[in-house]
Amino acid sequence: MSLLAAKARSGELTQQERDEAESYERISSLLGILQSRARIAMTRTSS
pLDDT in tens, 5-46: 999 999 999 999 999 999 999 999 999 999 999 999 999 887
Question: For residue 7, is it within any domain?
Answer: no
Answer yes or no: are the C-beta atoms of 13 and 7 closer than 8 Å: yes
Q: 36 is in which domain, residue-wise?
A: 23-47
Give helix 15-46 / helix 2-9 axis angle, nearest 10°: 120
The pLDDT score that the predictor gives to residue 46 is: 78
Question: For residue 42, is it within any domain?
Answer: yes
Question: For residue 33, is it within any domain?
Answer: yes
Question: For residue 38, is it within any domain?
Answer: yes
Q: What share of the chain is helix, strand, coil (3-state, %, to 5)?
A: 85, 0, 15
Question: For residue 11, is it within any domain?
Answer: no
Specify the 3-state DSSP secondary structure of 11: coil
pTM of this prediction exceeds 0.85: no
Question: For residue 27, is it within any domain?
Answer: yes
Question: For residue 35, is it within any domain?
Answer: yes
Answer yes or no: are the C-beta atoms of 20 and 4 closer than 8 Å: yes
* Count of structural domains within the chain: 1
